[in-house]
Amino acid sequence: MAGNAAIYIADPGMIGSKVFNSLTNVSSYESLSDGETATGVVFHLPPGRVTINFMPGEQIQRHLEGLTGFAQQTITDRDKMLYALSRIYHVQLVGGCVITPDFDQDGVIERFLRDLVSRLNGLLFIHGTIFDYDGERLDGLPVAA
């Protein structure tokens, strides 16, 4: 079964070859488009493929309202919650990530996603948790022991 994650970017202008070419463990990547409109990107890594599908603009606000509600329910520290809500408020691009065949046991794909989000100054939603661009856990569902 494929793995899933989401990335949240405030500056869509950062998405492109300058960032993509700086990523490690990427064998190749290719853009996805529908005519003249970019719809995503596929990254090929040794353990699998990460397909990032850009959410259509008309769906982003409703999606971010859901993420805002999730953050309000799971982040207990007031300052951290206000910070997370501010970061979510400024998101302009949401990328739904499909990982095939799934996340690898060595963590290569998860490290790739964290590196990508770091370079894009974004947020990463993975395993029921929101992570900041620097890898700090903003909070989320309890981590299984």
Residue 101 lies in a domain: yes
The model's confidence at residue 145, banded by pLDDT at 50, 70 and 90, is very low
Q: Does some domain include residue 74?
A: yes
33-83 confidence digits (pLDDT tens):
999 999 999 999 999 999 999 999 999 999 999 999 999 999 999 999 999
Q: What proportion of the chain, given as a percentage, has pLDDT over 90? A: 92
Residue 47: which domain range?
Answer: 3-132
Q: Is 103 exposed, middle or buried (0-12, 13-18, 19+ CB in 10 A)?
A: buried
Residue 85's closest CA among 136, 141, 134, 130?
A: 130
- The DSSP element (H or E) to which 133 belongs, if any, is none
| Residue 143 covered by a domain | no
pLDDT at 143: 54
Query: Does a structural domain hold residue 145?
Result: no
Q: How confident is the model at residue 141 (pLDDT cuts 50, 70, 90)?
A: low
Q: Is the peptide bond before 101 cis (omega within 30 degrees of 0)?
A: yes
Burial of 13 (C-beta count, 10 Å sphere; 0-12/13-18/19+):
exposed
Residue 139 has pLDDT above 90, yes or no: no
Tally of domains in the chain: 1
State the Cα angle at 66 between 91 and 127, rounded to 5°.
85
Backbone phi, then psi, for 144, in 5-degree steps?
-65, 140
Strands of the 37-45 sheet, one edge to the other:
28-34, 37-45, 48-54, 93-100, 3-9, 123-126, 129-131, 137-140
CA distance linking residue 80 with residue 16, whole number of Å:
30
Task: Say which CATH number the domain at 111 has.
Answer: 3.30.310
Tell me the C-alpha to C-alpha distance, in Å, between residue 95 and each of 10, 14, 44, 76: 12, 13, 16, 26
The pLDDT of residue 1: 83
